[in-house]
Structure 1
Amino acid sequence: MQQHPPTHTHTPLQKPRDKKTKRTAGGRKIKKKHTHTRAREKRDRIRGGAVHRAAAPISLSSQSPTSLPMASAGGATGPAPAILAAAAALLVVVSLLPHAAASDSDHKYQAEEKVMLWVNKVGPYNNPQETYNYYSLPFCHPSDNPVHKWGGLGEVLGGNELIDSQIDIKFGRDVDKGTICSIELDPDKAKQLSDAIESSYWFEFFIGFVGEADRNNDNKYFLFTHKNIVIRYNGNQIIHVNLTQESPKLIDAGKALDMTYSVKWERTNVTFAHRFDVYLDYPFFEHQIHWFSIFNSFMMVIFLTGLVSMILMRTLRNDYAKYARDDDDLETLERDVSEESGWKLVHGDVFRPPRSLALLSALVGIGTQLSALILLVILLAIIGMLYIGRGAIVTTFIVCYALTSFISGYVSGALYSRHGGKNWIKAMIMTASLFPFMCFGIGLVLNTIAIFYRSLAAIPFGTMVVVFILWAFISFPLALLGTVVGRNWSGAPNNPCRVKTIPRPIPEKKWYLTPSVIALMGGLLPFGSIFIEMYFVFTSFWNYKVYYVYGFMLLVFLILIIVTICVTIVGTYFLLNAENYHWQWTSFFSAASTAVYVYLYSVYYYHVKTKMSGFFQTSFYFGYTLMFCLGLGTLCGAVGYLGSTLFVRRIYRNIKCD
């Protein structure tokens, strides 16, 4: 799920033309793929998905529909005299922050008011997380200490660092030709730019920048030195920014390159409220296959609920009839009981406390919290269009996680207490810290890698402190409070059947009725219900598209919950029929195994659907995916366990256990 950047654009480097064009809408960020025809360019403007969603709606981002891959000479195919695309697709984020205090989301400009142009980051186009400071390359550096803009917690965690370019742009004032700076190319600078072009770097320069490689000459690279900026406005608000790049100059050590720009203002009828529509890829996200996947998952729900209903209403109803007979039919009852097999024989052990009760209680509590959290964030995204704000989804997720910690504490405390647990402090600490510390451990490894590479993906120490404070002073106390409330208000266990003193031996069964097989097979159908949606989510996160169809996500999430509950109930029924009463952990892992299949799918997606490379990006891809799958597995496991608990209590409620 993504948010849009201020108006900035990413442009990978690809086949060049004499001019490169980037389009931007107020407050968005977009990355584009290379275009060969005018029609393709128009389509790319619509389909290029912004990777970062702009938070500061006052910022504009100039999107470049042209992705220019950089390549060197020698053996490459392409238009003969073409100068190959290159250097780096710069996302130009025109963040319009005036001197006067105003809302970043709907700022209204006065004539001649300063429009600030922010530069952000640079990195290989195929590696979205491998980003560096814009000025790590020898571009025009501001003469004074530039202003840095902190856009919020989510923006910092997204690896954004907005710096004032100090390029003079005034609202409504055209500039025929202005000078940005003159770059003196020494051998080191020339090599830096050439290497960046060779690696297909893109830039976020909140308006746009690109270089080229000439494939007809051996190892010659060109840098566009002039930017034509066309800003479209409606009234006193900026709507779109269009960047055309010209004047490619050879990158040659000892040569000076004069960087220039021009600005032209044009009126448009597009309203500020609809400025972001051009960046939403309607054909991609609302394709018929997306609708078909929802329909297919819905039919799966009908099938599974029918299967569970059959188990409850047919198989169990006949069994209940035996136990409902009158006492005068005692002889027949005893004969039936002596012939019994299956789930009824383990009634004296089925409510025995599970092993590692504190851990199970913590995981179920965390999973329940994550379920509520995901539902809440999806609803907020639908109501508030969070994809429009850069970093808004991340910030919302972190804050809502802290505020929903009471849920995890309550569920964990109640479950632990009802099973007779005594060490509730241990259970409480595990509930409050297990998931955050798992994420912290993965994040620490990734952050160490980012620091080693000097990447903007490294989380600043101050941001870590902010996140820790949120956990220590909001999340942890709420989890503690929830545990205390759940422990004291959970009530008596009130199990339908009394637990026997001596555990019943578990007979050997067929291999497919063992807990491990049931747990592994249990995740197949839930994964099938979200498989198509995973493709859209992965494409949004890793391929620069703006995910905005949260209505689809809500439906898929509800379908996942229902399918998970139904599949886990069926698995629990088969396990109990095999006279195995260790259903608690089996039901949890049966649902949690959905995450295993999602992770395996991510491996396929990495190798088939992306062009990522290098240790840095590979680490971040699989690290982030592991973090996501741990959360998904915990969520599904909790849902499956709670569904199985209701099922087990229901089927044993009416039998005469004694």
Structure 2
Amino acid sequence: MKSMPLGMRAHHWALYLLLLACNAWAFYIPGYSVTKYNDDQPVPLLVNKIFSDHTQLQYAYFDLPFVCPPSGRSHGGSPFGSGQSISLNLGEVLRGDRIMTSDFQLIMGKNVECQSLCTAKVSRADVKWARQLIEENYAIEWIVDNLPGATSFVTVDRSRRYYASGFKLGYREISPATGQPRYFINNHFTIVIRWRSASDGGKVIVGFEVYPKSISADGRKDDGCPKAVHKDSEGLCLYIAPDMAHLKEKYGGLSYVPEDDEEDDGATLDIPYSYSVYFREEKKIEWANRWDLYFTNQEGGSMTHWLAIVNSLIISTVLGVTVLVIWSRTVQGDIKGRGDGAMEERKMKGQTRRKRPQDSKNEGLLEGADVEHNADLSSDEEGFEDTSGWKLLHGDVFRVPAYNGLLAPLVGSGMQLLFMATGLLALSCLGVLNPSFRGGFVSVGMGLFVFAGLFSGYFSGRLYKTFGGSAWRKNTLITAILFPGLAFCLVFILNLFVWAQASSTAIPFSTLVALLALWLLIQVPLVYLGSYVGYVRASPWEHPLQTSAIPRQIPPQPWYLRSPAGPLLAGSIPFAVLFIELLFVFKNLWQDKSGYYYVFGFLSVVSVVLLVTVVEVTVIATYSQLCSENYHWWWQSFVTGGSSACWIFAYCIWYYMFKLHITGFVSTLLFFSYSFLACAVYGLLTGTVGFLAAYAFVRRVYRYDLARISCSVKTGTDYIETSVP
């Protein structure tokens, strides 16, 4: 085949680069597709759910009996009628989203002063539930162009505006006449759509604001709209007057008749709903930055994030210096001192034996040969004689730990979680996972966790083989079922409580079946494949020393090695690294559910420093344990690495008692159960990191120790050989 001319090859390379550029432009990051609208084009408004910062229970918007039910009619040429469910990803379903089409009609560029929606007839029981939801501070979430409807706020100096996702279902006030609380429901919504012109034509939406208002049902127009939409007016109170005749009949001739009897006697309350729509041009906000308004209220914490990083770096640096001192001065100094001592000892023996040939040459030769023979046979053992501390454990330091059939699966699960967490943080920092990719964090996390079954099986199988285990299929089954099975059982039991509350937080049965299929049909085979490679194909990790037949007796240990207080104290240091950033994570996760945690760059830096700190703390604790002649470091290193999870769970308890206002048994159960699950995930991850760090440290120390001793023994032997006549 003739070679291609240079010009032709250049053209081919140019074509390849052009195709590559086309592929790069075609690459799609979820949530970043631009939707453009022309004038008089319908803009769909989707309804989702109601949520509260005071409870963990959410409800689908159309499940509320006191709102306008979907009519089923299609609007704006859409093939779907109102009430049609929108396809959701796994993350959206797990976070309680229930997105549906609505009867709201929004036409790009067309302002609507008032449009009647419906009049809902509400029973006494429904009024009572509406009052309870308002008491618990529930907010409504609608969606336009993938933007959640927001409540707009302005800073005190009016220099900045920021959004809070969602708007209030209603409000509560105290009656000046009776002193009793009264509840008002918001039944008129002023919708403001902010747009700007796109560079290549059309309009893009950069803001979606909702201003709710409660307007009485009295004095309305024939079309159902209030006469004064934008003026102050009396609100619609959620109250149905009691039927005194019915109550007197029910309670007979009693002198006291309770007016708050909630028995459903057929009485209803009419709640008219209406809305206004306004389109406003916004030239200051770019489409790519339209989510910034949801984060503006968090910018004040940037300095705190930097302080968290500085705090973590200081702690990690101090521990790093301690580890360097242990390695460079203590460990290497002990090895060097013992090696020089071994050499000097052999010099003295050589000089002593050189005096003996004065009486008999043959006897001297025999004595010299005996010295050489003994040096060759006991080189390793003599190197560890007359020592103390960790140097005495050369025959026991790699002894197989108790319950190693459980330790290997736990380490495998920890590697699986480590891979998932690393992938999530990396994708979040790159912008692939962002608030516009609704449910993406959970969906991608589940995918990474399932795929990481390969790593779980590999590390579990290889560690199990290193421990000398033979039933590797049993170990594979434990690895594949232990953590995912316990997590699934916990979620299923919690789901029963949430199902009883008819909340959208409950995971649908079909989703549970899908999760079960992901676990059993995809993850379990991946764990088996990884375990096959780790146990059958790969060789076990080699240890530099042989284990003696008889275990060494462990001397009395200090208090911090005899009780759980030692690992707990060690775990307080990683918790101190993570504590400040936890304030922001907890605030966005539990207090401000309408907000979005976005500072993944700070969180990634803190996470890296956290893992480094866990490594340093575990190495120091392991070295202290070995110096106490305690060779049971395997489980101790795992527990020490994950012990900061106990501090995080204690922080969850404190946060619940002093920062949250969660009410109800089910919400409390959900909070502590999910907190426990999150702490278990964290403990497995950091425990695995600590175990692997201690394992590498011990192997490195004793391998380096053995090499130095062998070198010293050989040097002494050479001296002896040259000294014998």
TM-score bracket for the superposition, by shorter chain length: 0.7 to 0.9
Going from structure 1 to structure 2, the CA distance change for 1:293 and 1:192 (only over 3 Å counts) comes to closer
The aligned residue for residue 161 of structure 1 is 98
The aligned residue for residue 541 of structure 1 is 589
2:255 pairs with 1:240: no
Going from structure 1 to structure 2, the CA distance change for 1:107 and 1:629 (only over 3 Å counts) comes to same
2:294 pairs with 1:279: yes
2:417 corresponds, among 341, 364, 370, to 370
Shift of 1:278: 0.3
8 Å CA contact 1:515–1:586 kept in 2: the answer is: no
The aligned residue for residue 221 of structure 1 is 183
Amino acid paired to 1:437: G
2:110 pairs with 1:173: yes
The aligned residue for residue 426 of structure 2 is 379
1:537-594 per-residue CA deviation (whole Å, 9 max, x = no partner) reads 1111112231111111111111111111111111111111111111000000011111
8 Å CA contact 2:662–2:668 kept in 1: the answer is: yes
Amino acid paired to 1:405: G
The aligned residue for residue 471 of structure 2 is 423
Give the match's secondary structure for 2:187: strand
8 Å CA contact 1:230–1:243 kept in 2: the answer is: yes
Give the match's secondary structure for 2:120: strand
Any unmatched runs of 5+ in structure 2? Answer: 1-28, 73-81, 144-148, 150-166, 198-202, 216-234, 241-267, 350-378, 711-725
Moved more, 245-254 or 568-577: 245-254
Shift of 1:652: 1.1
2:281 pairs with 1:267: yes
8 Å CA contact 1:285–1:549 kept in 2: the answer is: no
2:230 pairs with 1:293: no
The aligned residue for residue 575 of structure 1 is 625
Going from structure 1 to structure 2, the CA distance change for 1:322 and 1:197 (only over 3 Å counts) comes to closer
Give the match's secondary structure for 2:705: coil
The aligned residue for residue 529 of structure 2 is 481
1:143 corresponds, among 36, 50, 71, to 71
Return the alpha-carbon distance in structure 2 between the equivalents of residues 128 and 273 of structure 1. Answer: 32
8 Å CA contact 2:49–2:60 kept in 1: the answer is: yes
2:645 pairs with 1:645: no
8 Å CA contact 1:362–1:430 kept in 2: the answer is: yes
1:405-453 per-residue CA deviation (whole Å, 9 max, x = no partner) reads 2111111111111221111112111222222112112211211110111
Give the match's secondary structure for 1:243: strand
2:67 pairs with 1:126: no
Q: After the TM superposition, which residues 246-257 of structure 1 pair with which residues of structure 2 at under 5 Å, given as runs?
A: 246=213, 247=215, 248-253=235-240, 254-257=268-271
The aligned residue for residue 210 of structure 1 is 169
Amino acid paired to 1:245: P
Q: After the TM superposition, which residues 13-92 of structure 1 pair with which residues of structure 2 at under 5 Å, given as runs?
A: 57=31
8 Å CA contact 1:387–1:546 kept in 2: the answer is: no
Return the alpha-carbon distance in structure 2 between the equivalents of residues 494 and 373 of structure 1. Answer: 28
8 Å CA contact 2:615–2:693 kept in 1: the answer is: yes
Amino acid paired to 1:311: I
The aligned residue for residue 74 of structure 1 is none
Return the alpha-carbon distance in structure 2 between the equivalents of residues 127 and 249 of structure 1. Answer: 25
TM-score (norm 1): 0.80
The aligned residue for residue 495 of structure 2 is 447
Looking at secondary structure, tell me which structure has more helix per residue: 2
8 Å CA contact 1:138–1:192 kept in 2: the answer is: no
8 Å CA contact 1:413–1:487 kept in 2: the answer is: yes
Amino acid paired to 2:236: K
Return the alpha-carbon distance in structure 1 between the equivalents of residues 393 and 122 of structure 2. Answer: 81
The aligned residue for residue 589 of structure 1 is 639
Amino acid paired to 1:371: L
2:509 pairs with 1:461: yes
Going from structure 1 to structure 2, the CA distance change for 1:412 and 1:187 (only over 3 Å counts) comes to closer
Moved more, 429-438 or 302-311: 429-438
The aligned residue for residue 603 of structure 2 is 553
Return the alpha-carbon distance in structure 1 between the equivalents of residues 205 and 568 of structure 2. Answer: 54
The aligned residue for residue 7 of structure 1 is none
Moved more, 343-352 or 166-175: 166-175
1:507-566 per-residue CA deviation (whole Å, 9 max, x = no partner) reads 112212336343222211111111111111111111223111111111111111111111
Going from structure 1 to structure 2, the CA distance change for 1:329 and 1:594 (only over 3 Å counts) comes to same
Going from structure 1 to structure 2, the CA distance change for 1:274 and 1:654 (only over 3 Å counts) comes to closer
The aligned residue for residue 655 of structure 1 is 705
Return the alpha-carbon distance in structure 2 between the equivalents of residues 580 and 420 of structure 1. Answer: 22
8 Å CA contact 2:634–2:691 kept in 1: the answer is: yes
Moved more, 348-357 or 276-285: 276-285
The aligned residue for residue 341 of structure 1 is 388
Shift of 1:219: 4.3
Going from structure 1 to structure 2, the CA distance change for 1:427 and 1:455 (only over 3 Å counts) comes to same
2:345 corresponds, among 320, 329, 335, to 329
Going from structure 1 to structure 2, the CA distance change for 1:220 and 1:322 (only over 3 Å counts) comes to closer
Moved more, 325-334 or 353-362: 325-334
Return the alpha-carbon distance in structure 1 between the equivalents of residues 188 and 560 of structure 2. Answer: 68
Shift of 1:321: 2.0
Moved more, 605-614 or 584-593: 605-614
Amino acid paired to 1:203: I
Amino acid paired to 2:101: D
Give the match's secondary structure for 1:324: helix
How much is the aligned-residue C-alpha RMSD, in angstroms? Answer: 2.4
8 Å CA contact 2:384–2:392 kept in 1: the answer is: no
- Structure with greater Cα Rg: 2
Return the alpha-carbon distance in structure 1 between the equivalents of residues 513 and 182 of structure 2. Answer: 46
Aligned-pair identity in percent equals 32
Amino acid paired to 2:483: F
Going from structure 1 to structure 2, the CA distance change for 1:128 and 1:234 (only over 3 Å counts) comes to farther
Shift of 1:140: 0.8
8 Å CA contact 1:124–1:131 kept in 2: the answer is: no
Moved more, 283-292 or 172-181: 283-292
2:485 pairs with 1:437: yes
8 Å CA contact 1:381–1:550 kept in 2: the answer is: yes
Moved more, 645-654 or 325-334: 325-334
